[in-house]
Structure 1
Amino acid sequence: MSEEQEKILSFSLTLNPHFTHRTPESVKHATAKHEEAKPKKPGFLSRLRELDPVKSAANTPLYYEALTDVARDVQYYADVEIGSNMQKFRLDLDTGSSDLWVADITCKTRRRRFIKANSTTFKPVKGKFQISYGDGSAVRGFLGQDRVNIGGLVIEDQVIGLATAQSLSFSNDVIDGILGLGFNSISCMPGTLTPMDNMIKQNLIQEPIFSVWLGRSTEGGGGEYRFGSYDKERVDGELTWVPVTVKRYWQIKCDGLFFGDADLQLTSDVVVDTGTTLVILPTDVAKAIHSHIPGSYYDENNGWIVPNTPEVANLPGFQLLLNGTKFDVIMKDLMREEVEGKEGFVFSGIASSDRITTWILGDVFIKQNYCVFDLGQERIGIARCKHPIRKQPSVSEQMKVDAVAVPKKVRPCLIM
């Protein structure tokens, strides 16, 4: 393999100075994505069946897309280029959706906007799109086609949503748009190929897979997507392959839930969602887990909160049984930033909602567990993640970082 093919892009930690913790809004947004499916319009077919079944060329290079970690792992984005003149956008690579959209030049937003007149490869496409979220945020606009560069992998004629209007929450966000990596059955642009569909159809990747690891801000942040491969150096042990149960989101079966040695006697389908910060569970499940965290409780304004004490920090966290293997969600990821007005408490990495029928495993789960998404065989490979060895920030250094990210009086969680 050439030096160019092995090159991995690297970005330093970037923090959003406008960020404030919005757990209720985040939960609404995530649960809106994962509510029961509405009936599809007649004639809509799975586009993946129409793809060329011929495998990609064996000498196809490996592609990496580095991530930037925002405000204590609240969000991760990748720099993606669109158009012949490589207009750069910060995109949320989201396994919980399936569309690619950015703001059009006509959109009133603080974020970066796409100027189609400056791209010689842009083509108009008949049709419009609209996406509404449970927290009241929304985006709408028209469709186009253009070249998309993801970490050196160039997709030709990718259908893109160009937003002419978006809610204020999107305008103030650190990201410029979303690149969906879910199944095309949940696309809001029916009849189009998703970015992954096109990577496969255009023979751009070695295998119809992508993989992800997410870093922790307390350990240097960052993260990485790989397209067409996975990094064996990130895998601690062996991958456990879990079949997808429903081809909408990346939904798999959880055969058991544990907290340390305690079997909570609970099972469910779960969705592995890179676009959601927390683990979101039905109320009874969240209650069962927090019952093993002494002093934790549900606060009407802030959701689940846990004591910021050494005793809680030393707890084992909870485990999910997936196809015969237990996977951890550790207390380091369950104890988040301090709750304003609640001295000695931090936000829990678990939120609850009764609007969902499946459990949502967001970044709190993925940070501990390396995930490989196999579109060809409709399965997810999971293993404990080996994180890169990086300099651990001191408590005083982390306090400075948090002060920039959240310009309010906050103290870091005891777990660093």
Structure 2
Amino acid sequence: MFLNAAGCTLLFLLFTCFSVKSLSKENVLTVGLKRVQREHTVDRLSALARAVKSNSFGDQQAVTLKDVQDVYYYGIMSFGTPKQLVNILFDSGSADLWVASIDICTYDNTYCRVHSTYSHNVSQTYHKNGSTFAIQYGIGSASGYVSIDNIEVGQLLVTGQYFGEATSIDTNTAATQFDGIFGLAYPALSVIGTAPPFVNMIIQNVVNESVFAFYLNRVDESTEGELVLGGIDPSHYTGNITYTPVVEQSYWLINIDGMYVNSKVISLNNTAVPDSGTSLLYGPHKYMDEVNTLIGGQEQGGLYFVDCSAVDSLPNVTFVISNTSFVLEPKDYILKVSDGSAVACVSGFVGSDSPSFFILGDVFMRKYYTVFDMGNNQVGFAEALVVTSGGFRIFNMNTVLITLIFQTVYIFLRNL
């Protein structure tokens, strides 16, 4: 998820059912991720709207992630003492931790009927800070005041973590299934201006390594997604991991040697950010418009649609990173959406000139297991192991797509 991004996105989120799996090393946490379908804007597909038009250490743990129909992925963590459980979006594209405050119920009781919240009044380890915060994610936002408390992901306990207690959350973010965001980018990107939670895990010696890794399952797979904090899970990828240096330590910004449609050069010597909080794959308009033209896309409302009967014959799109080719096949970058009676095929490539770099969202990260190595300032990619290949996913347009995106796709389907 990118701060102050502009545009609309198709949201496909993974949602995380909290389950802890122990890996071979100690102090590694695996967070299970599950995916959820919902509306979103620029950051998270960057939401469907963007598409259619938001040293040795102690422990390692894996968090199960649930996938919300390839829109976004979230997991479970706790705040305070005793523990207060909430659903959290784990986001490599931002650096702050925030959670919905129980105080929001004073202004929006509807929100509190469907979301969990944090109450500092019942926590024995809470400390008041007194500062305020305001974070803008594309057209999504959260604001409130800064608090200090213990947090826990699986069995990884961080004491004295600074985070935002959100007393105001925009309607798009409120429509999701998560109750807050866990930023995993570098401290330089923090709006609150304190160490992000994963950095504190490193400082407090609760993870084996200063590494985390995402496996984002597809909606048609039997396995759940997974975030490993403090290590890597070899069971979710095949072959070797290709590493590339981080060139700017704010976002996880890396160099890409080139982008190709089959053998045709689209772009050379650009930069990109792998972002678990963005559903689609974004890039400058001049490149993405050319890609969408080459795959036969027809623009409508900021999205490109292709003939579903021609999908199997569409070209591959390749990113070259550290002299290694990372290929996206049509089944990886074409998304099928339905209004219940008709189906449309939407390109996962979206043009956006702000920011100026490519955003390798979930369209890319579902295909490639992604390792974020903060200790060595590098990002690694390896081909993810696919448990089932059920082909294309069909998303029900009647659930949570943002209004702008829904209207665009609905009009398209109605005119079929």
TM-score, normalised to structure 1, is 0.80
Match of residue 74, structure 1, among 62, 71, 74: 71
Decide whether the 8 Å contact of 1:280 with 1:351 is kept in 2.
yes
Partner of 1:377: 376
* Distance apart, 1:341 and its partner CA: 11
SS in 2 for 1:114: coil
CA shift in 2, pair 1:212/1:351, >3 Å: same
Partner of 2:125: 121
Measure, in 1, the Cα distance between the counterparts of 2:128 and 2:64: 30
Partner of 1:298: 299
Partner of 1:272: 274
Does residue 386 in structure 1 map to residue 385 in structure 2? Answer: yes
Measure, in 2, the Cα distance between the counterparts of 1:404 and 1:13: 20
Superposition pairs of residues 311-390 of structure 1, within 5 angstroms? 311-338=310-337, 345-387=344-386, 389-390=387-388
Partner of 1:173: 176
Partner of 2:192: 189
Partner of 1:92: 89
* Distance apart, 1:406 and its partner CA: 6.0
**In the alignment, residue 382 of structure 1 is paired with which amino acid?**
F
CA shift in 2, pair 1:171/1:319, >3 Å: same
Decide whether the 8 Å contact of 1:56 with 1:200 is kept in 2.
no
CA shift in 2, pair 1:367/1:29, >3 Å: closer
Partner of 1:138: 141
* Distance apart, 1:244 and its partner CA: 0.6
Q: Deviations over 1:187-241 (max 9, x none)?
A: 0111x11111101111111111111110000223631111111012323211111
**In the alignment, residue 314 of structure 2 is paired with which amino acid?**
L
Q: Deviations over 1:144-196 (max 9, x none)?
A: 11121112211111111001112222222211110000001010111x11111
Partner of 1:157: 160
Report the identity percentage: 27
Decide whether the 8 Å contact of 1:15 with 1:405 is kept in 2.
no
Partner of 1:234: 236
Q: Deviations over 1:92-121 (max 9, x none)?
A: 100110000011111133422111111111
Structure index of larger Rg: 1
CA shift in 2, pair 1:288/1:123, >3 Å: same
RMSD: 3.2
Measure, in 2, the Cα distance between the counterparts of 1:290 and 1:263: 14
**In the alignment, residue 197 of structure 1 is paired with which amino acid?**
V
Measure, in 1, the Cα distance between the counterparts of 2:268 and 2:35: 38
Measure, in 2, the Cα distance between the counterparts of 1:100 and 1:10: 16
Partner of 2:150: 147
The answer to which structure, 1 or 2, has the higher relative contact order (CA under 8 A, 6+ apart) is 2
* Superposition misfits of 4+ residues, deviation over 4 angstroms: 7-16, 20-31, 339-344, 392-395, 403-410
Measure, in 2, the Cα distance between the counterparts of 1:255 and 1:240: 14
Match of residue 83, structure 1, among 72, 80, 84: 80
Q: Deviations over 1:271-328 (max 9, x none)?
A: 111110000111111122123213x1221x251222212x323434211110110112
Measure, in 1, the Cα distance between the counterparts of 2:304 and 2:264: 21
User: Could you list the runs of 5+ residues in structure 1 that have no partner in the other structure?
Assistant: 32-54, 411-416
* Distance apart, 1:330 and its partner CA: 2.4
Superposition pairs of residues 187-226 of structure 1, within 5 angstroms? 187-190=190-193, 192-220=194-222, 222-226=224-228
SS in 1 for 2:70: coil
Partner of 2:14: none
Measure, in 1, the Cα distance between the counterparts of 2:215 and 2:358: 20
Decide whether the 8 Å contact of 1:73 with 1:221 is kept in 2.
no
**In the alignment, residue 307 of structure 2 is paired with which amino acid?**
P
User: Could you list the runs of 5+ residues in structure 2 that have no partner in the other structure?
Assistant: 1-19, 411-416
* Distance apart, 1:126 and its partner CA: 3.2
* Distance apart, 1:30 and its partner CA: 10
